[in-house]
Chain A
Amino acid sequence: MKWIGALLLLCATTWGGYEFARRLNNRPKQIRELKNALQVLEAEILFGQAPIKEACEKVANQVPAPLSWFFKEFSEQLDQCGSSLYEVWEDRLKQYWPMSALGDGEKEVMRQFGQTLGQHDFTGQQKHIRLALSHLERELEDALEQQQRYSKMVKSLGFLTGLLLILLFI
């Protein structure tokens, strides 16, 4: 009985370590997707001259799953309610962020970007997209560094914590 409990504890902490490492590994990947999405948005706005709603629909078709939901729901909600674009944007950010592996830094970048979306002429809009992209680039470097530094350590840390607890309890 004692050994089964110990094994379960070890499994749980190891899984926790792997899960945390996965988030660390996924963050750079998702930041890249976010950057990609903004680049698609830029192209749609500048070359396609599409309104925000249509541009976001197209972005949703071109980016992978969790992020595409964000753009899809944003463009759907934009038409329905009487609130401003920024309110819808922020509401969507709040819903989406817990689902993703993204951190607070990116959230702040996207929040500020939402305030400028659709409020400027073409050149102004392009500048704001570029600004958001460069901020995301900085966050990406940060995320890569964290990934290299911690991801392996976190995995072994999970296993070892489990082991320590077992030794303490026995």
Chain B
Amino acid sequence: MDEILRILPPHIENEIRKIPDKDLIQLQEIRYRINRPLELIFDHKYECLTHVIPTAQDGQFLLNKLGDHSIYRLEDELREGYITIAGGHRVGLSGKVNTDQGAVKAIRHISSYNIRIAKEKIGVATSLVEQLYQNEDYQNTLIIGPPQTGKTTLLRDMARIMSQGDQNHPSKKVAIIDERSEIAGCIKGVPQHQVGMRTDVMDACPKAEGMMMMIRSMSPEILIVDEIGSEADVKAIMEAVYAGVTIISTVHGDSYEAIKKRPSLAKLFHQNVFKRLVVLERTSTPGAVQSLLDGDGQILQTKKRCVTYEVDRSSSPTLRYNVGRI
């Protein structure tokens, strides 16, 4: 949180500090619009601070802090529309756009800043990862969910767990293609989040190209990529699957049925690439899994007699057989 407070003008920083701690941990976004009240978005509600109105100077202050007083270094960021700061938090920008021959050159006169607080929930994917492990290897997995349901949080934790490994699940070489710098939150290529010891990150790289680059150069066992959608992405995923690399990915969508109908993804389902589908829902708390499906869209039963507890003799054998982990 200190990384965020550091970039805010002092009078706004004081207002944020007044928020009680129990609310502060639920804070997701600070929306900072010039000459309009400051808006705070929490997990379950939103709040407008009508007495805090950032001025144009405050906007300039924030931008200067974001770029270390050196706007010229933000050339790429101003074109992409977001800036990653220490701690992996991201600041989205909008305002007047300058174009050059139809392509966006930079955002000038920024009127809205959206400070998105990165939530690193260590251990959120632990139980899920176990379900993805079958036949001595992780299965190709697709996480489906609408925005803000914790897809990226889940993906990040999965990367960490898979590269770390434990006694039942050997550690793997993981490669992350982080096109929007959200999974690892890199600054100058160095991950700001815990993504695991054996994880390599290709930051701000176009997904399709990045996947091929990683396979060629870094010999990963697991390839993690965020938000697939285009034909090129699908083609690269097919290449990776044929190369024997496990794919973990996410896609925007409400349900398995809706995703299955998307023309660009049809090939993936036709070839039955994904053996595990994780569906998240907006109503649930971020990162909570709604349902886990297998490759045919059937709900996957929680495994009886979980391998972890095979030698555990603390409960009765009948109970252990039928209920599994207690």
The interface of chain A, by Cβ under 8 A from chain B, is: 45, 49-53, 78, 82, 84-85, 117-122, 124-125
CB contact under 8 A between A120 and B72, given known A84-B61, A84-B64, A85-B64: yes
Q: Does B67 contact A (CB under 8 A)?
A: yes
A85 touches B69 (CB 8 A): yes
CA distance A49 to B73 in the complex (A): 7
CB contact under 8 A between A52 and B69, given known A84-B64, A85-B64, A118-B64: yes
Q: Which residues of A sit under 8 angstroms from B64, Cβ to Cβ?
A: 84-85, 118
Q: Which residues of B sit under 8 angstroms from A119, Cβ to Cβ?
A: 71
- 19 residue pairs of the A-B complex, CB under 8 angstroms, read A45-B70, A49-B72, A51-B67, A51-B68, A51-B70, A51-B73, A52-B68, A53-B68, A53-B69, A78-B69, A82-B10, A84-B60, A117-B69, A118-B71, A118-B72, A120-B71, A121-B72, A122-B72, A122-B75
CA distance A118 to B67 in the complex (A): 9
Minimum CB–CB distance for A45 against chain B, Å = 7
Q: Which residues of A sit under 8 angstroms from B106, Cβ to Cβ?
A: 121
Q: Which residues of B sit under 8 angstroms from A84, Cβ to Cβ?
A: 60-61, 64
Minimum CB–CB distance for A3 against chain B, Å = 62
- Look across to chain A and name the residue whose beta carbon is closest to the beta carbon of B63: A119
A121 touches B75 (CB 8 A): yes
Minimum CB–CB distance for A136 against chain B, Å = 21
CA distance A121 to B71 in the complex (A): 6
A125 touches B72 (CB 8 A): yes
Minimum CB–CB distance for A52 against chain B, Å = 5
CA distance A117 to B67 in the complex (A): 12
Q: Which residues of A sit under 8 angstroms from B73, Cβ to Cβ?
A: 49, 51
Q: Which residues of A sit under 8 angstroms from B9, Cβ to Cβ?
A: 82
- Look across to chain B and name the residue whose beta carbon is closest to the beta carbon of A78: B69
Minimum CB–CB distance for A47 against chain B, Å = 12
CA distance A140 to B9 in the complex (A): 40
Residues of B65-105 at the interface with A, using a CB-CB cut-off of 8 Å, are 67-73, 75
Question: Which of A49, A51, A122 contacts B69, CB < 8 Å?
Answer: A51
Minimum CB–CB distance for B213 against chain A, Å = 23
CA distance A63 to B150 in the complex (A): 52
